[in-house]
Structure 1
Amino acid sequence: MVISGGALVTSQVLVARYANAVQTKDLFGNAASGATKQQVSDIKGPLNILLVGIDPRNDTTAPLSDSIIVVHIPRGLKQAYLYSIPRDLRVEIPPFEKTGFKGGTSKINAAMSYGSSIGGGKHDVAQGFDLLAKTVGKLTGIKKFDAGAIINFNGFKDIVDAMGGVTMTIDQNVKSEHLKPNGKPRDRRPECADNKCEHPYIGPQAQYKKGTYHLEGWQALDYVRQRYGLPRSDYDRQRHQQQFIKAMAEQALSKNVVTNPVKLDKVLKAAGDALIFDGNGHSVVDWGLALKSLRSDDMTLVKLPGKSLITNGRYLGEALDPSAEDFFAAVQNDTISSFLIDHPDFLQKL
């Protein structure tokens, strides 16, 4: 979108504005985001990008990563493979000197929380991302991520609205746990005021039926956040989130967005409120130039097989099937396409 907008109006001022539209921070603990600017030509595949979705929180609340997606782009930069890490996956979280965390086994979505404390009861989501990236790297064997982004879910809704909605195929009937059919929050049970109830809401529910629809921002976000009542719970939600990203890419690159400077401006402003980006010394415009040939049809969605860990009737989290190790090896060797030919069950259905 950034590159298309720059091509519309060949102005250095406009390109600089787009480059500054998205907030940048050091997400990997190496001050790379403030490093001397590098050449676009330095962005070469294979690449691994870490995307993390969070609920909006203030700096006095420890953040939790509600969605974790890794994007692998092979050598040649002509394809993109997306795979989700289950938020409840039990993993080994490494020690983190900045917060004094000594390491241990926990659900992976807690890693950001363990890494976020900056003292005085304050939390820094960017610092928390650093520990999460180290945890995902330990799990997958990825030694260094080439870029990363934190996505604020509420801000993402504003991006969809700025684009004029998103067309998406809904692959199963889903009821909303959180919202009424008009998009307003559902009523909460009086006895659940402390947020300790598993299903604290009552009353009419927004519903999403199988089929292809053009969704408003609140509908798209609500749909991809649901997991209660789904046959495979978070695994179904992971699939919906990947489908959403692909639909977003297709909508963003459509002519009614990238050839409309007014709409493009609105989208970029919304993105600035929704995203924190670290391109490891490269700006978002650099990344746009490097990946300008990628389109939604070039995105392949991957599912990692897993199962619930239950001991004495107690749910402990999720565990990946041992075959996931072979997939991670394919990521490291940049041979995902060959792996998927031999393991078609890893392909996420559209």
Structure 2
Amino acid sequence: MLVVKAGKGGAKPSIWSGVPRWARACTMFGTVLMLLSGVVLVGYEALLSRYEGAVGKADLFGDQAAGAQERKSNIKGPLNILLVGIDPRKPEARPLADSIMVLHVPESMDRAYLFSMPRDLYVEIPKFDKAGYQGGSGKLNGAMSHGSVVQGQNPSTSQGFELLANTVKNVTGIERFDAGAIINFSGFQKIVDAMGGVDMYIERDVRSEHREPDGRHREPNPRGEGYIGPQAEYKKGNAHLKGWQALDYVRQRYPKSGVPDGDYGRQRHQQQFVKAMASQAFSADVVANPIKLDRVIRAAGQSLTFSGRGNSVVDYGVALKGIRPENIEMIKLPGGGIGTGSAYKGEQFVPAVDDFFTALKNEQLDAFMLEHPEFRNKAK
């Protein structure tokens, strides 16, 4: 939630309602929380300073490296914001994009569209001289890994983000991202716990591949792939999830876990969670509780690396203050696998997705969605 000091002359702080948005994995939970929350304007300058100072900043698009001067401007729509979720790995390991989402805000700035890019989407990854990468074909999430290489140093997640952004632009036809963020999933868990958990609807029974009912990690199967031991279960219906449960639930993507449509189902669960998290963060239980609000702000800031290309995360929060959770349209981009078994190469979109990207570019998504209701992701 964004906190902005009260007006001059001792005026009472006003309330600007907004939605927390974003980010994968999740993705992009912490970002949603911050980018779309122009939510409570309290007159505590120290709280705003703490929030702004907690957010990591990086040159995610290579602007500074290219010699471009950051320039502040009024934030106006249409906007495209790239949100990438990662799981922390060892410093010497190349990062992989675990979740890739795009938040599109039309010119009216009163609603938003959120769609996921399959991490296994088979794409052409462009040449990237900074990392010595000559370009090639592969899965979309690998673009961040290829772009992260720094000679004689540990991989750079920020530099990897730049190549991933270039790849997503080529696939979608988006000419320029106005902002971007990297979400650390372990930090995301702290956000949910700081809010006291999150209420959401579980669309079908799901069993965890990774966690036991008490939250402990399951033991690797000594006989081969997978894990052994009791499994955490998420039953169909309304549920209140702790941080580890929420993160675990949105990671599940295998039919044996109860997710018959694989990664597409996981994308849908992630988007459903984004809405639930937005509503929870906007609730009076968080907004009217200064101690809990402060915990949420600090946890969110510590999980986020942000580039507003000249504007701060607070600037974006205020600019998007008019967006409500119910005005976030969650989009599914249908596709299917290329090859099967050992010949599996990745995912590809159905032809109609090209029409979706054309409608996005021409600001005609409302008309497109009326003609293609199958692109609308269900969320309770």
Using the size of structure 2 for normalisation, the TM-score is 0.86
* CA apart distance, 1:191: 4.3
Does the 8 Å CA contact 1:48/1:72 hold for their aligned counterparts?
yes
What residue in structure 2 maps to residue 340 of structure 1?
369
CA displacement 1:191-222 (0-9 Å, x = unmatched): 45xxxx3xx20110001111111111011110
What residue in structure 2 maps to residue 70 of structure 1?
102
Does the 8 Å CA contact 1:178/1:186 hold for their aligned counterparts?
yes
Local SS of the residue matching 2:98: strand
Aligned-residue identity in percent: 54
Output the CA distance in 1 between the equivalents of 2:204 and 2:358: 32
What residue in structure 1 maps to residue 10 of structure 2?
none
* CA apart distance, 1:176: 0.4
What residue in structure 2 maps to residue 2 of structure 1?
2
Letter matched to residue 165 of structure 1: G
Q: Does 1:275 align with 2:304?
A: yes
* CA apart distance, 1:262: 1.0
CA 1:17 to 1:312, structure 2 compared with 1: closer, same or farther past 3 Å? closer
Please tell me the root mean square deviation across aligned C-alpha atoms, in Å: 1.8
Letter matched to residue 25 of structure 1: A
CA 1:86 to 1:267, structure 2 compared with 1: closer, same or farther past 3 Å? same
Letter matched to residue 81 of structure 2: I
What residue in structure 1 maps to residue 233 of structure 2?
207
What residue in structure 2 maps to residue 16 of structure 1?
49
What residue in structure 1 maps to residue 181 of structure 2?
149
Q: Does 1:119 align with 2:151?
A: yes
> Which structure shows the bigger proportion of residues in strand conformation?
1
Does the 8 Å CA contact 2:57/2:306 hold for their aligned counterparts?
yes
CA displacement 1:133-186 (0-9 Å, x = unmatched): 000000000111011111111110100000111111111111100000111000
Q: Does 1:190 align with 2:218?
A: no
1:55-94 correspondence to structure 2 within 5 Å: 55-94=87-126
Does the 8 Å CA contact 1:4/1:258 hold for their aligned counterparts?
no
Q: How many residues align?
A: 342
Deviates more, 1:103-112 or 1:328-337: 328-337
Local SS of the residue matching 2:129: coil
Letter matched to residue 271 of structure 1: A
Local SS of the residue matching 1:77: coil
Does the 8 Å CA contact 1:3/1:292 hold for their aligned counterparts?
no
* CA apart distance, 1:10: 1.8
Local SS of the residue matching 2:150: strand
Does the 8 Å CA contact 2:52/2:301 hold for their aligned counterparts?
no
* CA apart distance, 1:253: 1.2
Output the CA distance in 1 between the equivalents of 2:269 and 2:307: 25
CA displacement 1:86-134 (0-9 Å, x = unmatched): 1101000000010110111100000000000112251010110000000
Output the CA distance in 2 between the equivalents of 1:263 and 1:238: 29
Q: Does 1:96 align with 2:124?
A: no
1:200-349 correspondence to structure 2 within 5 Å: 200-229=226-255, 230-310=259-339, 314-349=343-378
CA displacement 1:46-67 (0-9 Å, x = unmatched): 1001111111123200000011
Does the 8 Å CA contact 1:171/1:210 hold for their aligned counterparts?
yes
* CA apart distance, 1:251: 0.9
What residue in structure 1 maps to residue 35 of structure 2?
none
Deviates more, 1:293-302 or 1:104-113: 293-302
* CA apart distance, 1:34: 9.6
Using the size of structure 1 for normalisation, the TM-score is 0.93
